[in-house]
Amino acid sequence: MKGLIFKDIYISRKRFYIGTAIYLSWLMMCILVKLSAAHGNLRLLGDEVVKHVENVTFYVALFGLMMDIAGFVVNNAESDKTTRWDIYRRTIPYTEKQIVGSVYLSNAITIGSALAVHTFFSLVVCAVFGEDFKPWFFFTFLSFGLFIYLINSFNLFCQYRFRDPKKAKLVYTAVLFAIYFGTCVALSTALAASAPGDDPVKTEQFLKDTGKSFISFLKNYAWTIPVICMILIAVLFFASVKAYARPADSGKPPIENEEKPKKTFFGKLKTAAEGDDN
């Protein structure tokens, strides 16, 4: 099973190189902005501007670079289909749970490693900017990493369920867009119901109440976010195993139009002569 994990990570190495280069480049830019604000030309703009720039740069370094974790997911379903690996792996002495589990473990290793590296550099950023590393920073990193893991798990399920990269990608994209637009419509409907006639006072009050409710939820029930993500990941894992274990879709094999070799005039005479002899 180790070989399957190493295979998935090795094939995805170019994606990891690109993600690492982007991450380090943006991290260096954030540190250079801080140094410029402290000792360079930015400090000439005034204390208020410098403070605002440092504040924005600090949170970009912490949470903006966190988005780069999404570049470390392992999903080689399309390349496996192209190289016929999806057919070959059925001949190796592993169960369906081990084959699917190797992909999930590969994602856990790469996303977990990216999360650990980002946490380390976040400590460095806090030291450079003179800020404290608060516990909710790491909780946010962990929740985002689990969310990325969940999204990729759903993508893997679509690949195993439909066994066609194009169809799986279409269903995966359609479901995500449906969730996104459904959420936007629900929020717009709630906003319109709370502020009829585009009343700016009621709209502002609704936004304040929504913000307070969201903050109250995070203070009391934030732990439910990673728990729900882990439950959904487990459900998608077993669903992926079941989808992968099902027999191949039945159907008639495609008829290959093989071109028959053209016979010359002498070839036809030879065939006719052989027929006469028989």
Mean pLDDT by 10 residues, the chain (278 residues): 82 85 89 82 77 87 85 73 72 84 90 91 89 89 92 90 85 91 83 63 73 80 90 94 74 47 56 53
pTM as predicted: 0.77
Calpha distance 201→20 (Å, rounded): 47
**Contacts (Cβ under 8 Å, ≥6 apart) of 206:** 190, 191, 194, 195
Question: Residue 229: its pLDDT value, please?
Answer: 93
Question: Residue 252: its pLDDT value, please?
Answer: 43
Among 110, 150, 90, smallest CA distance to 9 is for 110
* Cβ pair 29, 65 in contact under 8 A: no
